[in-house]
Chain A
Amino acid sequence: MTKTNDPEITKLNLTDAFKELEQLTAEFESGQVDLEASVVKFKRGLQLAKYLKGELDKIEIEIEQIKDEFKDLEPDSPQV
């Protein structure tokens, strides 16, 4: 595994990271990658996998109840 995660990868949301990893896997499965490109892609794949595994380790779920006084407000952003 790579030592450090690319900061650009940690900005990805899980869906995008997972989709990109799936796409890379499909490319590898198809055998349509050349050696030089595949080394770069492999490195990217490992970074994505590491990032995803790190995210999967998160276990807590945060719950925020929307308070009655906010219910009738028309928020521009979630001030909940």
Chain B
Amino acid sequence: MADEHIFQVSEFNEFINTYLRQVNEIVVEGEITEVNISQSKWLFITLKDAQSSLNVFAVAYQISAWRDLEPGMKVHVYGTPGLHQKSGKFSFNANRIVPAGEGALRLAFEKLKLRLESEGLFDISRKRALPLFPLRLGLITAADGEAYSDFIKVLRARMGGIKIFFYPVSVQGRDSVSSIIKAFRYFNKLNNIDLLVLTRGGGSLEDLQSFNDEQVVRAIFSSRIPVVSGVGHERDVSLADLAADVRASTPSNAAELISRSRMDVLNQVNYAVSTMDKTLHSLTAAANYRIFRHIDSLKRYVSAPITANQNLLARFRRQLDRASLEHVRLTNNLSFTSKLLIKNTFTWFRNHDQNLLHLTHLLTILDYHQVLRRGYTITSDAQGKIIRSVSSLTLGSPIITTLADGKITSTLQSLSHDQN
């Protein structure tokens, strides 16, 4: 036994670990009996089944939702075995701990949901509106899955001209969570993606576990690009759905929600054109009517003085006509009167001419010189007064006798009266 190798304790621990490291990651199922956290960093969990128990060690931040782990919960622990170098205590070093079985999953789901809810990850007020027409979208789902083909089929039927950047991920299983998170990280580094779609078909709560994973939920919540999730069937609601900006019930529904139907848009465009057209028509008609009214009142405004002038002119014309009739009448009258006057004048002249002749003749006849020439004389007193009676005479008074060719002055010497 001289050659027998004596191990030092640390050497022994190291030796054992060399063997243990050859074991790849394995999954151990068991029920948690105890959970302890040390310095907020190290997790010490005790697992057991009906016969045995196992110490599990983990770094807290590597285990999503470690806070929700509690005694009584059935879990699957993904990890590798190892010996603690210092203490020599054997432990199972966990990389991932996930609830196992429907009951545990349900419990873990509810606990995580409550916690994330209280953190505000599901707040409605934080939801972003989707772009009306997303043209470049990132699709995160499994390659060759039903979700993929349903989504593309419905999208294609509704709207074209869209570019899809498809990032294939595992939607269940051990790499699922990390691949989904990588996809989010990838797209969020791009700067021209309008929308992300995270989708998968239906399954059991266990199948959908990645979509209830805290890290995935946080990746959705912190995505710079709006996220639409469509996970499972209509009745399945995952935490991913709750954190997404828009929750679709299925992959097909996700396509419906993000793309407007071509027909709807076309209808709206047509409606817009017809509304504008109608409004423009009624505006034109109203303007026409206003112009017509303006022209009409302008016409009235202009025609009023014209009409007044025309009336005045007509009145004037009537007066003129009347005056001219009067003129004719007067002219006629005048002409008649003139003629009459002339005629009368002539008559008058003629009459008077004859009278004159007659009178001239008469005068000639009556002229006392003629009488004197016939031998008659006129006796007058000294004053020139004609002596018509002897009785006015006194003897001795001068008398003047006028003859045809001169005068005789005599002194009265005798008087005698005629008897008759």
Contact = CB atoms under 8 A, between A and B. Distances in A.
Interface of A: 13-15, 18-19, 21-22, 24-25, 28-29, 31, 33-35, 38-39, 41-42, 45-46, 49, 52-53, 55-66, 71-72, 74-75, 77-78, 80
Contact of B277 (A33, A42, A78): A42
Interface in B59-89: none
Contacts of A53: 266, 269
B265 A66 contact: no
B280 A38 contact: yes
Q: Which 7 A-B pairs have the closest CB atoms?
A: A58-B161, A14-B133, A59-B160, A58-B160, A28-B279, A25-B272, A15-B132
Interface residues of B, number: 42
Contacts of A13: 133, 135
Interface stretch (B9-17, B96-104, B184-192, B368-376): B184-192
Contacts of B315: none
Contacts of A65: 143, 166-168
Contact of A71 (B162, B186, B277, B287): B186
Interface string B152-173: 1001100111111111100000
Nearest to B270: A49
A61 B155 contact: yes
B14 to A, nearest CB: 34
11 contacts: A14-B132, A15-B133, A21-B272, A28-B275, A49-B272, A52-B265, A58-B160, A63-B164, A65-B166, A66-B167, A78-B165
B266 A35 contact: no
A31 B279 contact: yes
A79 B324 CA distance: 109
A31 B168 CA distance: 52
Nearest to A80: B165
Contacts of B361: none
Given A29-B279, A56-B265, A24 B272 contact: yes
B295 interface: no
Looking at chain B's contact residues, is the secondary structure mostly helix, strand, loop, or mixed? helix
B268 A22 contact: yes
Interface in B109-145: 131-133, 135, 143
A29 B132 contact: no
Contacts of B287: 35
Given A49-B269, A58-B160, A24 B166 contact: no
B275 A62 contact: no
A15 B163 contact: no
Given A62-B164, A74-B189, A22 B280 contact: no
A14 B167 contact: no
A21 B269 contact: yes
A61 B166 contact: no
A29 B276 CA distance: 8
Contacts of B132: 14-15, 18-19
Contacts of A21: 269, 272
A58 B164 CA distance: 15
Nearest to B162: A61
B160 A24 contact: no
B162 A33 contact: no
Nearest to B155: A61
B160 A38 contact: no
Interface string B256-290: 00000010011011111101110110011001000
